Structure 1
């Protein structure tokens, strides 16, 4: 590469050649500061230089003499990098914190734990349905979602719920995936979110009972659609016939209305869901306390004294 030098003098232009260097002298009447963000452009005028004169040159050096009144400082340059012909500036990426307390490590740990809990839940539910032992392990299907919600908040519980649903959708089909979502998934997400926020047992059991009841009714409606049979109507008709028989056997000549039948049906569903959620709260509290998460739980006084 041949050295090239440029210096500012008066108002003429000259080219000087030497053994190892070529000097450009740009002569102008006034000294102008060189902007930092723009690249140097060669002067646009014809240059008559013979290529043979450069055959023995080993380098070409370019030197710019900037007036002393406007010096270039390193602190003014910053972290920008000039690339391309148009002088586009790119900011160098900042170093990322990869320590155990950094945000990247925590996000990675959250993603790994949620995926493991989702895989475990989907595998257990799939095997339980395949072996027809779902009734024996149904109380543990919501536990991984509760743990994810308590450890990582709403975001972690939602990721575990969605990942489990998608896994069951691939393995077992939409019917089993919707069954898990309505009967176990939303219940576990609601319970874990309420426990994460520090809600009391009364509020948690009440809301989880409502969610469980709505999930049960939704499951009945989906089953009716798939079977092309109104299962809800069959339940209410059988309940009406049973209640009429009991009243007739008791000597009461009264036929219950359908409004009363629907009210009794709703009360029975709420009682069933309420008892199940109370037992589920008790079981999960004992299990999580044994896992070392007792400080994250808000237990009632009678349970704390018993534990």
Structure 2
């Protein structure tokens, strides 16, 4: 006998007990025993919960990537992209060159690959000391930064670029190091410390000669053969005269120096200190061949003063 009920538990239990008390149905003896009381709502809730578990389990299996898939996704971000080609010369180029508004010009294919490892893709390589026509054209169309090796080869390429291409910034690897050897920290530092290139250099040089001859030639004459140095301010007024042997030490302590004139050789140490102190001119007997030029410091020899 199945008896549905919507009564509360007390009433339902009372009905069940009453039915069990029946011992006769018509002329026949009868015995009624309660088999079970089932809450249909609770049963349906269990069915719903079990089904929800099945759906969630299946969903997790289908949507959650496996460990191998996760590993592959992460490792793919470390892979270096493919080096492309640019122009009729088939120059090595990074995959982001075409879409980039500003570009980085480097010396060779190995430099391109090293920059791509650091996430820099707007690159193109010269592949030689001769500047390709594609680079000349590209440098006119996009803002160009030359990122060159910190050796004499980089110096020569920079001079060639300045003559035939439109370069806005120049960045260099650490002295004696190539771009392909630099780590990402050194590359990012070189780009962060890039120097704006002052294009109108020739007119400045033409106007500079008379100024040097008039205001510095007397100082040069007085210093020749003395192994001494003179520090001048922005108006070319003498600040101090001292032996050349004390020049480097004095520059570290002295302010407001804008020009150095000395009877000696311009070394890389003096050039670096001048750049750090914002000294505009260095005039000396001659320039060491190992010196790396700095864009904001003019290096002048005594011979140039009297030319």
TM-score by length of 1: 0.24
Higher relative contact order (CA 8 A, sep 6+): 1
Hey, which of these two has a bigger chunk of strand by percent? 2
TM-score by length of 2: 0.24
| Greater gyration radius | 2
Hey, which of these two has a bigger chunk of helix by percent? 1
